[in-house]
Amino acid sequence: MITVMGATGNVGRPLVRALAAAGEQVTAVSRQKTPDVPDVPDGVRVAPVVESALDGAEALFLMVPGGFAPLDGLLAAARAAGVERVVLLSSQGVATGRHPSVPEDSVRASGLKWTMLRPGGFASNAVQWAGSVRSSRQVVAPFGDVALPVVDPEDIAAVAAVALRSGGSGEVYELTGPSPITPRQQAAAIGDALGEPVAFVPQTRAEARAAMLGFMPEPVADVTLDILGAPSPAEQRVSPDVERVLGRPPRPFSAWAARNTVAFK
């Protein structure tokens, strides 16, 4: 049995599908109650909180909590329930010093076998532009010509599935896309997927910050803007880890856009 936290999120949903397709018994943790949880394959158990989903689990997929809080209590409960290994969806920012290492420290000290996944920016963050693309075929964003190797969440899920099933321990994977891409280029890729031009409209840092504060804490908004506007060489570097684990290159942003045109129509 593998328990997946955040089972309806950008990574959790394809992870549950991948594990179920591989014949694994899966418990999907979601605050939504079945049968209202979308896209859960037949045979997957749904639980409202992770603590209620640990019985019988050998492996656990966790995400870094908001505020990068410690995970000691949850990991102690997992160990007491017989969980043997944990895969943590962390952040590239831990390695670059942008984000605290507290959740990773909890995992390392848990006594469980562990794997850390450290993705950079998600391709799916482009969904934040869906409203303006639908209404006016525009992407409004700051730092239009600063490139980062955003990663497809389905690639993160595929790596997580391997880690959860392998039984290995002590691996840290940095997960990126195949090449850096700018917001202006992302807008063009969305337009190509739709078959219609999508314009890029520059936004100042102050304008972007004001918009971000509507859905994220001030410190997170500031760090995010620092990464988007002045990334370090490490944040712009393409990692080989997706290909090393999966035996294929990571998917480009254009593939993500082609699969998700419904969000922008």
Give 109-137 pLDDT, tens digit per residue.
Answer: 999 999 999 999 999 999 999 999 999 99
Q: Give pLDDT, residue 35.
A: 46
Q: What is the DSSP letter of 148?
A: B
From CA 26, how far away is CA 104, in angstroms rounded?
24
Question: Using 50, 70 and 90 to split pLDDT, how confident is the model at 235?
Answer: very high
pLDDT, mean of residues 34-43: 67
Whether the model clears a pTM of 0.85, i.e. scores above it, the answer is yes
pLDDT value, residue 34: 47
Name beta bridge partners: 88. Answer: 62, 116
Q: How confident is the model at residue 37 (pLDDT cuts 50, 70, 90)?
A: low
Q: What angle do CA 156, 161, 166 make, to 5 degrees?
A: 130
Q: How many CB atoms lie within 10 A of CB 15?
A: 30
Distance CA(15)–CA(12), nearest Å, equals: 5
Mean pLDDT for all residues in the chain: 94
Long-range contacts (CB closer than 8 Å, 24 or more residues apart) made by 210-215: none
Q: Say what the pLDDT of residue 38 is.
A: 57
CA distances from 187 to 23, 72, 124, 199 (A): 38, 41, 13, 7
Checking if the pLDDT of 146 tops 60, the result is yes
Reference 87, options 1, 174, 171, 176; nearest CA is: 171
